[in-house]
Amino acid sequence: MPADALEVAAVSKSFGARRALQRVTFRLRPGEAVGYLGPNGAGKTTTLKIISGLVAPSEGSVRLFGLDPREERDRALRSIGVLLETPGLVPYLRGRDVLEHVARARGIPREERAARVQAAASSLGVVRELDRPVGSLSTGLARRLLLAAALVGEPRLLLLDEPTLGLDPVARADLREVLRRLNREGTTLLLSTHLLEDVEVVCNRVLFLRDGQLVGDEPVEAGGRDEDGPRRVCLRFASDVSDVPLSALIASGRAVERRGPREVVLEVRGGLRGQAQLVAETVRAGLPLAEVSPLASDLAARYLELVGREEEG
């Protein structure tokens, strides 16, 4: 049997009297895309730093593709790429400088570095940014460049810390699609985030972390990985529509339930486009539509059940 891509075994970490992680245990199989979900301060970044060798655990162990990084550090860490939330780049460095520094650190021979840097930049669409200072890049392009740096050396496992944080909706969607493509091509992903939509779109499994403790490990429904897939929405009307047949509302969706005289829940096909079509059809039918709102996903419900609201954590 092939080794797990990642094994985290009873890992704990204390900073003085504060216990950041408490016996966290999980495994990633090769080719999985796993979300690591929890509020700010739950211990997600600490976990990624321990896995990548930047921080030593107080207790427990980590194995990367069967290798113990404490005993075979170079071999073990060569198989991973890391994108941290706050990398602290020097703004006047060129993108090429950043990627070449990573190539040197990974031990890539001098004669191969240029080709490896070019290939990583090309895969993320940032070839033109290689000769620009990183301080001149938009947030979205800077994140793409950093992800390209993580891909130098073709790692089999990517550790990603809030990769879409601070991006506008278009840049966020673009980066999610890049991550999905990498996963389809065989790269194993561990995506640490507090954004539910990142996990729903990219991942097929999710780990829930609260106060340094793993409180859940569950699959993510396959439909969530498709931004154009079905979604549940609630239609609220300005007046009573209880006498209106549901067939008048379901040209673009499937009726799920009525929630009183002024509310109907539908499952809409086609994602946002389907939702827009539903609104247009409802208005054309002369119905007094007042509001359309998406319902919380099953993942959102599980997050609230297992982790709670962020201010409670």
pLDDT of residue 191: 96
Task: State the average pLDDT for the chain.
Answer: 85
Per-residue pLDDT of 42-83, as tens digits, reads 999 999 999 998 899 999 999 999 998 888 888 888 899 998
- Give the whole-angstrom CA distance, residue 76 versus residue 3: 12
pTM of the model: 0.75
DSSP label at residue 47: H
Q: Which residue has the higher pLDDT, 125 or 313?
A: 125
pLDDT of residue 287: 84
Does the structure show a pLDDT above 50 at 238? yes
Query: Where do the domains of the chain lie, and which CATH numbers do they carry?
Result: 6-225 (3.40.50.300), 231-298 (3.30.70)
Does the structure show a pLDDT above 80 at 143? yes
Percentage with pLDDT > 90 across the chain: 41
Structure tokens at 313: 């954590």
Q: What angle do CA 84, 225, 82 make, to 5 degrees?
A: 15
Q: Per 3-state DSSP, what percentage of the chain is helix, strand, and coil (rounded to 5)? A: 35, 30, 35
Antiparallel, parallel or unpaired: β 213-219 and 205-210: antiparallel
